[in-house]
Each structure stands twice: as C-alpha cells, then as structure tokens.
Amino acid sequence: MNIQTNIALSTLTTMKIGGNADRVVNVTSEEELQRAYNNSKELGQPIYILGGGSNLIVHDEGFAGAIIRIKIMGIDILDDNQETATITAGAGETWDVFVQQMVGRNLSGIETMSGIPGTVGAAPVQNIGAYGQELADTFVSLRAYDTQSDDFVILKKEDCGFAYRHSIFRGEQVGRYIITHVTLTLNKKPPVPPFYDALQQHLSQRQVNIAGVTVQKIRDAVIEIRSNKLPDPSQLPNAGSFFKNPIVPLQLGETLKATYPEIPIYPVDGIRVKIPAGWLIQSCDLKGRVFHGVKVHDGNAVVLVNESAQGYADLAAARKEITDCVYRKFKITLEQEPLEL
C-alpha cells in the first residue's frame, strides 16, 4: 500500500481543476483495499474512490479525507469455447489496454469502445459506451468490496441497473461498492454490420470490405475517428463529453424536427428519442466560444476544454451559460455527464 499526503487532485483528473486531498492511498489487492478502507473509517476520514480521473470534476476545496486509488491488476480467461471467451480484468487495468488485448485475441464486443480513457473498474459506473457498443452488452458480473457489509460480493448484470451512461454505482448505491474485478463475455464471431453511422461511413470512405471487417480494423477506425474529434486530455484538459445526450419525449423530438429539419434524432424506445448534446450546443453558435476560461471544443461541441479556468466556479459559470443558451433555444435541459467531488 502506498500513501501520499496533500496531493493536488488537479494532477489526478483530466479536467485539471480542484483542490488537494489530505491522503491518496494506492491499493494493489483486495486485502489492501479492505485494510485501507477500514483504517480511514476508524480515523473518521471520508473516503472517495478514484480511477483515472477522466470522468470527475473536483471542487476547489479538494477533499479532506482519503482518496483510494484502485491498482488491482490482472487479466484472466475464465472460459474459452468455440463461440465465446469469458474474461475477468482487475479494476486497476487501463480500459484501453484491456480492449487492445481483447482485440489482439480477435474477440469482439468492446472494440468500438477503443480509446476511452480510464480504468476497467470505473467502466461499469457510467456503463461506458461509444460507437454503438456499451459495457452492459457484454457484461457478466463484477466483484466488489461492499462497504456496508465489510465483505466482497459478486454483482450480476441484473443487479447493476445499467442504463444509458448510468448504473446503481452512480445512482441509488453511490459510494457503497468498490469494484475490484469486472467479468465480460466476448464473442469469437466477426463483427456484424451495420455499424454505427460515423463508423460505417469511415470504413466505407476507406473502402474497407464491411462484410468481412475484423475487430482490429474497427478498433483502428474508432481510434482514428476519436483522434480527430476528441482532444487529448494531456494536451487540452477535458473530461470527454461534458453533457449527456438528452433523451426527450418523442413528441418534443417531432416538434423540434418540424422547426429544425436537420436535427439528428435517434429512437430510444418508441416513446422517447435521443438528441446529440453536441448538435444542440453547436446550433446555439457556441462552438469555439470561451466562457470563463472554458472553451467549447472546436471539433466537438459536447466537449469543454479547460483553457485557463481559475477553478470550479469558472467551470460552473461556463456550464450555466451553455445550458441556459440550449434551454432558451430548445427547451431542453442538458445534464452533466462527469461526476463531481
């Protein structure tokens, strides 16, 4: 177990704002995690779990307690048959390294989620997704430390309450479970078209034979698309999509379509539709605009880049200006995707 004191959380998060944490404890095993958790509890210190910090906004006050960073590693094959392979990965593994390894084995199911920053352990928290796949599609179960019972538990897919960028871990059970391992079942069959629009277009433009496309080709395509659309947080601090794509009643979608025929609308379930948040922001002419040191990214309006924000208050003020503009024009309230500490 490695313990550091008085650490700037801006250095551990990709948005690069926020104050200091009293203690940062890196744990490499379940036993260390349980010990670190109980030590901090006995000291009466608040506890927060941190992965790669790519989906977290930290307030200027920082955190007067212990940040526990999960560094539990390892990738194990539990079952390998003709059609599928079931794999368990430690929560501390880097998500994209895991994807790369699975693609290297020609396993399909997570290849369009290539390039998503962060750890395997955080992936279930917001049910990560991109280009037509989400974690829940291949998810089997996870192992977690249950802070209520002081024991380790297995949660199956149906226990996790997965929805669009949501799960019990950021909803009704927030703070209760600390994920140590995630198990997925991946497919040995080649990926089946049709693919997500942007991906399909990208492959067609490069004259890739879509019917016989490999997982590796899809991974390469996704990485290329992402590198053109998403700023690298090490160069331009950001937290990826800053807003969720709003899901609105079908009727509102139809009304908006009548006024703005070019609005992209994706069906959700027959009574609701999803509208890209980036399109709404861009349609308010906010692309490239800077508010309080926070820039609406030129390439992708759903991403906010911290150019020179002095702290959380600047980010909050920028967020308000953007969400107010969108509400005034479309009567839609944008919801923030990254969590806050």
Nearer to ligand FAD, 116 or 256 (CB): 116
Per-residue binding letters, 161-180, with ligand FAD (x by CB under 6 A): --------x--------xx-
Tell which positions 206-235 bind ligand FAD, by CB under 6 A: 230, 233
Q: Is 51 in the site for ligand FAD (CB under 6 A)?
A: yes
Of residues 30, 170, 241, 319, which has the active-site annotation? 241
Nearer to ligand FAD, 178 or 256 (CB): 178
Q: Is 142 in the site for ligand FAD (CB under 6 A)?
A: no
Nearer to ligand FAD, 160 or 325 (CB): 160
Q: Please identify which residue in 102, 213, 239, 286 interacts with ligand FAD, judged by CB under 6 A.
A: 239
CA angle 266, 272, 274 (to 5 degrees): 35
Peptide bond into 194 cis (omega under 30): yes
- Can you point out the beta strands (E) in 9-46? 20-27
Distance of closest approach, residue 129 Cβ to ligand FAD, in angstroms: 5
Q: Is 309 in the site for ligand FAD (CB under 6 A)?
A: no
Q: Please identify which residue in 67, 125, 168, 284 interacts with ligand FAD, judged by CB under 6 A.
A: 125
Smallest Cα–Cα separation from 180: which of 300, 69, 309, 92?
92
Nearer to ligand FAD, 247 or 252 (CB): 247
Spatial contact of 70 and 27, defined as CB atoms under 8 Å apart = yes
Q: At what angle do helices 215-229 and 95-104 cross, to 10 degrees?
A: 150
Applying CB under 6 A, the span of 76-84, 190-198, 207-215, 238-246 interacting with ligand FAD comes to: 238-246
Spatial contact of 240 and 303, defined as CB atoms under 8 Å apart = yes
Peptide bond into 237 cis (omega under 30): no
CA angle 198, 204, 208 (to 5 degrees): 120
